[in-house]
Amino acid sequence: MSVDLAHHADALWRALTYLSVAQLHLRSNVLAVDCLDESDVKPRPAGHWGTVPGTAWVLAHAGLAAGCGIGVQLIPVLGAGHAGVVQRALAWMTGDIAKMDPRYGRDADGLAALAAAFPDGDALGSEVHPELPAGAYMGGWLGGAFAFAQGMALDSPNRVVVPIIGDGECETPSTAASWLAHRALSDSRVLPVVHLNGRRMGGPSLLGAMSDEQVSAYARGLGWEPVVVEVGTAPGLAEHAEFHRVLVAGVEATARGAHRVVFLRCVKGWSGPIGAHKTPLTDLSGDPCQLAALRAWLSSYRPSELFEPDAQPVGALASALGAADFGSVLPGALPAPASVPATGRGFATEVSAVLRAHAATGDLKVFSPDELRSNRLGDLQGEAWAHEVLAEEVLLGWVAGWTATGRRGVTISYEAFAPLLLTGLVGQLKQRRLVKHALPSINLLLTSYGWHNVYSHGDPSLITALLGTGDPAVRVLTPADSDRVAVALDDALRSTGRVNVIVAGKHTNVTHRRETIDEERNRGLAVWRHLSDPGEPDLTLVCAGDLAAAVVTDAVVRIRRCSGCRIRVVNVHDLTALADPDLYHYFGTHAAVLIVALGHPAAIWGLLRGRLHRDVDVIGWAEPPFPMPQERLAAHAGFDVTGVTSAAEALLAKRKR
């Protein structure tokens, strides 16, 4: 590293750290350190300081390394959502934040507005933002950045992704599993930098308490080549030069296919109040000693060497900003796969045909927790585009990172394991609301639900929780047969901007009539006229899911014979259609309504929101008190012909009273 480059790195690090401290504590006079008084400070400073210096250090060096002509695209990814204050400082200097909001322009007024707005800037917030540099992974889902970076880097030989991971994150299941899971990826060039500052949030980190030898042995045991670099509390140009050398060497090794990791050994909160996790000075207006400490702290970064009074960068900082490249991945147009007609050949054949058609475009990945064969999809094992590891959280990170680069993906798992994904999926919903360009959807195909599995494998709570968010990007698809599974999967893979959850049993062998499939796809539900009486119904039977469709189909004849009433049958292909206020068009004006669905009845009641002012009942999953055979479980929940008939008769009797 040349002397000039070391000066550039030092200037950029000092500027990022200075502006982060300013955002945490100031509301005006951001560059007038010597003149600060009580009117310039925030009455209640809030935010996170501890991660700032180390995050700023890695970001500065990653940007400068990328700008040095290293031959690959270098993409830094922030793992800690609390590092948003550093990201905002960087985005102000690069001008990216002004593109989002012109109030934060690259001048003194824009800088003052930036500081004053933190942490409550409208539409911006205080944490990592996906529209700003290094923000492809927004955070909030603690520990997911490593797997996300692996997904971003998949099948991209000219791209090296650098996730900045905290040592506290290394204690999470997602990060811990990602080290080993990397072996399942043949072409993912990731150079993780572990911010080894010795502390997580409130106490010492487990990894930080280990010696360099122990940390290195840990990494080597998982298949990674470690390099430990230590930065002191008052780093000089030599330390910048050494870290730059290690980082560039790591990028070059990673580009050649090596698995290397850089451990940045440092002290949490160095260059300021050491060891502090959150904003350390909280009584600036009431404590003159704290105000004096803030002046000294800010002065230590020598801001006059970095900025003109009008906030324009000067000297080494100006040169650094001109040379740095913080990278981004903009998704391109999606290739159009060939359509595959469904032919009633069963779950495995139909699903495999759709996946192979999409894989032929070269942009599909299938991720599964070692269950492809169990899910009747064993013929996909060994395909270059199918990856299996037994860690659902890692798979979600992979599919999220993969689709964030504009490519299609699906995770195939058991319904019982899917609740492990809830935090990550909600995090992705939050992140994608903020992304301007439409990304391919995150898709889940959930099989082996509790109705056909063992006692410990009965848990439909993922869809209940996702529907509870009320997010319009959520789709829960409940196809009635294998032909409709194929249609739902094809539609999900072609869609953008959604989280699609398809709930479909691998054992399904019943095929229903096809004439309403297009209406089910477009409207989310349709009247099955071959099972319905003409005219206004007395009772509407609603089925959602393959088992529900089979039970309702078998029950219709018995109910009609016993009650003599007019019946309408409605099949629900997308559960979110039940939130449509115009359900009367399908359910009838005055009919009693019995809904039979695979998941929790509470999910259905939540979608209806009391809009059907009539007699309504819902049959769905009922938690068994102990292990029981499938037939007894169905009877326990009323999810059999007898239970559906009894519930229908009770509704009709109630109407007569």
Q: Each residue of 146-187: pLDDT tens digit?
A: 999 999 999 999 999 999 999 999 999 999 999 999 999 989
Q: Among 368-377, 452-461, 491-500, 616-625, which stretch is predicted with the lowest mean pLDDT?
A: 368-377
Placement of tokens 């990304």 in the chain = 439
Instruction: State yes or no: cis peptide before 53, omega within 30 of 0.
Output: no
Spell out where 554-649 has E strands: 567-572, 592-597, 616-619
pLDDT of residue 139: 72
Question: Which two three-digit tokens encode residue 60?
Answer: 């500065």
Over residues 99-119, the pLDDT tens digits come to 999 999 999 999 999 999 999
Task: Render pLDDT for 539-577 as a digit per residue (tens, 0 to 9).
Answer: 999 999 999 999 999 999 999 998 889 999 999 999 999
| Whether residue 16 has pLDDT greater than 70 | yes
Q: 186-200: per-residue pLDDT in tens?
A: 899 999 999 999 988
* Encoded tokens for 458: 């009965």
pLDDT one-digit tens code per residue, 51-78: 999 999 999 999 999 998 889 999 999 9
**Among residues 26, 243, 226, which one has the least CA distance to residue 116?**
26
- Interval 222-234: pLDDT, tens: 999 999 999 999 9
Percentage of residues in the chain having pLDDT higher than 70: 100
CB 159 within 8 A of CB 73: yes
Quick one: tokens of 264?
């940045």
- What are the respective helix, strand and coil percentages of the chain, to the nearest 5? 45, 15, 40
Residues contacting residue 335 through CB under 8 Å, at least 6 positions apart: 361, 362, 363
> Higher model confidence: residue 37 or residue 397?
397
Model confidence pLDDT, tens digit, residues 307-345: 999 999 999 999 999 999 998 887 777 777 877 777 778
Mean pLDDT for the chain overall: 93
Model confidence at 508: pLDDT above 90? no
Please report the pLDDT score of residue 330 as a whole number.
77
Mean of the pLDDT values across residues 378-404? Answer: 95
E strands along 606-656, which residues? 616-619
> According to DSSP H, which parts of 500-545 are helical?
517-523
Q: Which helix (H) or strand (E) holds 126?
A: none
pLDDT band at 136 (very low <50, low <70, confident <90, very high): very high
Q: What is the total residue count of the chain?
A: 657
pLDDT at 259: 97
- Quick check: 3 pLDDT over 80? no
- Residue 398: CB atoms within 10 Å: 29
Strand residue runs (E) in 116-253: 159-166, 193-196, 225-230
Give the C-alpha distances (Å, rounded to integers) separating 217 from 110, 209, 213, 253: 48, 14, 6, 19
CB 49 within 8 A of CB 277: yes
Residue 140 has pLDDT above 90, yes or no: no
Axis crossing angle, helix 52-66 with helix 84-94, rounded to the nearest 10: 40
The token pair at 442 is: 């995150």
At residue 1, the pLDDT reads 57
Q: How many helices (H) and strands (E) does the chain have?
A: 22, 16
